[in-house]
Amino acid sequence: MIDIKFLRENPDIVKENIKKKFRDSKLPLVDEALALDAESRENKKEADNLRAERNKISKQIGGLFAQGKREEAEAMKRLVTEKSDELAAREAKEAELAEKIKNIMMQIPNIIDPVVPIGEDDSKNVEREKFGEPVVPDFEVPYHTEIMEKFNGIDLDSARRVAGNGFYYLMGDIARLHSAVIAYARDFMIDRGFTYCVPPFMIRSDVVTGVMSFAEMDAMMYKIEGEDLYLIGTSEHSMIGKFIDTIVPEETLPQTLTSYSPCFRKEKGAHGIEERGVYRIHQFEKQEMIVICKPEDSKAWFDKLWKNTVDLFRSLDIPVRTLECCSGDLADLKVRSIDVEAWSPRQKKYFEVGSCSNLGDAQARRLKIRVNSKEGKYLPHTLNNTVVAPPRMLIAFLENNLNADGSVNIPVALRPYMGGKEKLIPNA
């Protein structure tokens, strides 16, 4: 969410940004917000005048009584009451206008970084770098669920009977591999100086609307019926929410946290052959990283965050690349985003395994997170990035470490988390 003062002073920049994001339907919101803002400022001016008049008259009443001018004093009291009633109406109007402005401002996209490529959808995302050599083996790589089934490692049928489509049971070595990856990712981030955290897995609506747009919320979040609680779609939500309505001492910045959580998502519109198995599901686990920092440090932290994910995947012998998300592929709150994609030997292409985002001060403004410095208070920047989400990581891991005989190599870095095993051997 951008600052109303910025909108007031730069309406053309805001409109041009909306066009760059191909959200032309939102262009009228700018003029609506400006009109309401002008009305609000005029209303506030009138309220201030009424308040000053009422206070001035109130001070005169005591003197009139002291002079024995009772009738004049009573007339003044009636006038104070009239002014108070009129002021109350102005204050109610002020609150009403503020809410309308807030609702509109929350729909206007954040200003994107100048480096973001302009494009309508993810087909216009731009490859930045490749890390590791993508290899296509001389044997056929099965679909990931077929690999897992060789280890008796997945049961989709039982999950379907218990919970429906989009859920799974992981079993045996595959379940252990899943947990090992999470534990390794946790320690990987701790070793890089991040503080480990296990957050709440449910959050209130004011946190939800503070961290994402209404459209994202509707597409992603599960609501707990009868309560003001939502299941988190990623621990970023509750981790940023941890700082809601707080004043953070500047000397404690940057706040660098890595968090584990289950994640729950509706995944509206998920379909197609690559949506089978555990590629796109309603429930999964994830290790996340978030940073709250000074505005001038956010660009440097953005690069550090996505590089953490690249380094982790490379330590597990998985080739990856980075994609700069184009303007039309950015959610409204995002200033910039880079996707990390892992190589799929089976598909002979890369697929998304994580996303790194800089949200500028948008979340801080919505959640009223402020920093206290010697020069005064200001809004920090917030960033987030996926360390690893094992369902998709498992796909990349199994495909890239698969041998012709069906066994799966365990990279050196992961062996301590797998009881020292160097290889997984299929059951049949």
**Active site members:** 265, 280, 352, 355, 392
Three-state secondary structure of the chain = CCCHHHHHHCHHHHHHHHHHCCCHHHHHHHHHHHHHHHHHHHHHHHHHHHHHHHHHHHHHHHHHHHCCCHHHHHHHHHHHHHHHHHHHHHHHHHHHHHHHHHHHHCCCCCCCCCCCCCCCCHHHCEEEEEECCCCCCCCCCCCHHHHHHHCCCEEHHHHHHHHCCCCCEECHHHHHHHHHHHHHHHHHHHHCCCEEECCCCEECHHHHHHHCCHHHHHHHCEECCCCCCEECCCHHHHHHHCCCCCEEEHHHCCEEEEEEEEEECCCCCCCCHHHCCCCCCCEEEEEEEEEEECHHHHHHHHHHHHHHHHHHHHHCCCCEEEEECCHHHCCCCCCEEEEEEEEECCCCEEEEEEEEEECCCHHHHHHCCEEEECCEEECCEEEEEEEECHHHHHHHHHHHCECCCCCEECCHHHHHHHCCCCEECCCC
